[in-house]
Amino acid sequence: MRFRFDGVEYGAREGDTLAAALVRNGVVGGFRSPYRGRPRGVTTRDESEPSALVQVGARTLVRATLLPVVDGLEAEPLAGKGRLVPAARRPLESVYAHCDVLVVGGGRAGRVAAAAAQGRLVWLDGLRDEPELTHGRTWAVGLYDDNWVVALERERRLWRIRARRVVLATGATERLPVVPDNDRPGVLVASAAAAYEAPEGAVVGLSGGWTPRVALWSQARGRLRWDERIAAPVPDGELPGVECVGSATGAGLPDAPAWRLVAGDEDAMFVDLERDVTVADLRRALRAGLRSLEHVKRYTTAGTGSGQGKLGNANAVLVAAELLGVEPGELGTTTVRPPYVPVPFPAVAGRDRGALFDPVRVTPLDAWHAAHGAVWENVGQWRRPRYYPLPGEDMDAAVARECAAAREGVATMDASPLGKIDVQGPDAVELLNRLYTNAFDSLAVGRCRYAVMCTADGMVFDDGVVMRVGPKRFVCTTTTGNAAAVLAWMEEWLQTEWPELRVWLTSVTEQWATVAVVGPGSRDLLTPLTDVPLGRDAFEFMGLREGVVAGIPARICRVSFSGELAFEVNVDGRRSLGLWEAIHAAGDVTPYGTEAMHVLRAEKGYPIVGQDTDGTVTPHDLGMGWIVSRTKGDFVGRRSFARADTARSDRRQLVGLLPDALLPEGAQVVESPVAARAIGHVTSSYHSVALGRPFALALVSDGRAREGTRVWALAAGGTIEADLVGSVLYDPEGMRRDGVPV
Partner 1 sequence: MTASLSEPPLAAQVAVRGAPQPGFPVAPNTTATVEGRLVLWLGPDEWLVLGGREEDFPGADAVVDVSANRVAFELAGRGAADVLARGCPLDLHPSAFPPGRCAQTLVAKAQVVLHRPEHDRLTLLVRPSFAPYLRSWLDAVLRDLEGSP
Q: 10 Å Cβ neighbour count for 36?
A: 14
Least Å distance, CB 356 to partner 1, is 6
* Residue placing its CB nearer to partner 1 in the complex, 335 or 495: 495
Least Å distance, CB 434 to partner 1, is 18
| Residue 536, helix vs strand vs coil | coil
Binding map of partner 1 across residues 147-186, x = CB under 8 A, - = no contact: -------------x-x------------------------
* Residue placing its CB nearer to partner 1 in the complex, 54 or 365: 365
* Residue placing its CB nearer to partner 1 in the complex, 120 or 184: 120
Cβ(196)–Cβ(26) under 8 Å? Answer: no
| Contacts of 385 by beta carbon, 8 Å cutoff, 6+ apart | 369, 374, 375, 376, 377, 414, 591, 593, 594
Cβ(320)–Cβ(331) under 8 Å? Answer: yes
Taking alpha carbons only, the member of 574, 553, 618, 566 closest to residue 738 is 566
CA distances from 217 to 146, 221, 239, 248, 338 (A): 13, 7, 8, 10, 11
Binding map of partner 1 across residues 395-434, x = CB under 8 A, - = no contact: ----------------------x----x-xx---------
Least Å distance, CB 359 to partner 1, is 4
* Residue placing its CB nearer to partner 1 in the complex, 504 or 541: 504
Q: In a 10 Å sphere around its CB, with 0-12 CB exposed, 13-18 middle and 19+ buried, how is residue 184 labelled?
A: middle
* Residue placing its CB nearer to partner 1 in the complex, 120 or 632: 120
- 81 lines the binding site for partner 1 (CB under 8 A): no
Q: 10 Å Cβ neighbour count for 267?
A: 13
| Contacts of 248 by beta carbon, 8 Å cutoff, 6+ apart | 105, 109, 168, 169, 170, 171, 172, 212, 213, 214, 217, 235
In this structure, what is the dihedral angle of CA atoms 473, 477, 478, 483, given to the nearest 10 degrees?
70
Least Å distance, CB 576 to partner 1, is 9
- 510 lines the binding site for partner 1 (CB under 8 A): yes
Binding map of partner 1 across residues 2-41, x = CB under 8 A, - = no contact: ----------------------------------------
- 136 lines the binding site for partner 1 (CB under 8 A): no
Q: 10 Å Cβ neighbour count for 483?
A: 23
Ranges within 321-360 binding partner 1 (CB under 8 A)? 351-352, 355-356, 358-360
Taking the C-alpha atoms of residue 698 and residue 526, their distance in angstroms, rounded to an integer, is 37
| Contacts of 729 by beta carbon, 8 Å cutoff, 6+ apart | 603, 604, 605, 656, 658, 688, 691, 695
CA distances from 310 to 54, 173, 189, 228, 385 (A): 18, 8, 13, 18, 55
* Residue placing its CB nearer to partner 1 in the complex, 323 or 362: 362
* Residue placing its CB nearer to partner 1 in the complex, 24 or 386: 386
Least Å distance, CB 439 to partner 1, is 22
* Residue placing its CB nearer to partner 1 in the complex, 154 or 681: 154
- 574 lines the binding site for partner 1 (CB under 8 A): yes
Q: ω before 339 within 30° of 0 (cis)?
A: yes
Among the listed ranges 31-39, 168-176, 386-394, 503-511, the one in contact with partner 1 (CB under 8 A) is 503-511
* Residue placing its CB nearer to partner 1 in the complex, 52 or 343: 343
Binding map of partner 1 across residues 357-376, x = CB under 8 A, - = no contact: -xxxxxxx------------
Counting residues that bind partner 1 (by CB under 8 A) gives 41
CA angle (387, 556, 564) in 5-degree steps: 50
Least Å distance, CB 92 to partner 1, is 10
Taking the C-alpha atoms of residue 497 and residue 431, their distance in angstroms, rounded to an integer, is 11
- 382 lines the binding site for partner 1 (CB under 8 A): yes
Q: 10 Å Cβ neighbour count for 678?
A: 15
Ranges within 91-110 binding partner 1 (CB under 8 A)? 91, 93-98
Taking the C-alpha atoms of residue 214 and residue 222, their distance in angstroms, rounded to an integer, is 9
Q: What is the DSSP letter of 736?
A: S
Least Å distance, CB 526 to partner 1, is 22
- 733 lines the binding site for partner 1 (CB under 8 A): no
Ranges within 607-636 binding partner 1 (CB under 8 A)? none
Least Å distance, CB 574 to partner 1, is 5
Cβ(106)–Cβ(205) under 8 Å? Answer: no
* Residue placing its CB nearer to partner 1 in the complex, 498 or 504: 504
Among the listed ranges 30-38, 90-98, 281-289, 697-705, the one in contact with partner 1 (CB under 8 A) is 90-98
| Residue 92, helix vs strand vs coil | coil
Phi first, then psi, for residue 455 (nearest 5°) are -80, 175
* Residue placing its CB nearer to partner 1 in the complex, 123 or 382: 382
Ranges within 458-497 binding partner 1 (CB under 8 A)? none
Among the listed ranges 23-31, 325-333, 436-444, 511-519, the one in contact with partner 1 (CB under 8 A) is 511-519
Taking the C-alpha atoms of residue 134 and residue 19, their distance in angstroms, rounded to an integer, is 26
**Sign of torsion, CA 640 642 643 649?**
positive
| Residue 395, helix vs strand vs coil | helix
Question: Which of residues 301, 511, 646, 668 is near partner 1 by CB under 8 A?
Answer: 511
* Residue placing its CB nearer to partner 1 in the complex, 297 or 386: 386
Could you list the residues that contact partner 1 (CB under 8 A)?
90-91, 93-98, 120, 160, 162, 351-352, 355-356, 358-364, 382, 417, 422, 424-425, 502-504, 506-513, 572-574
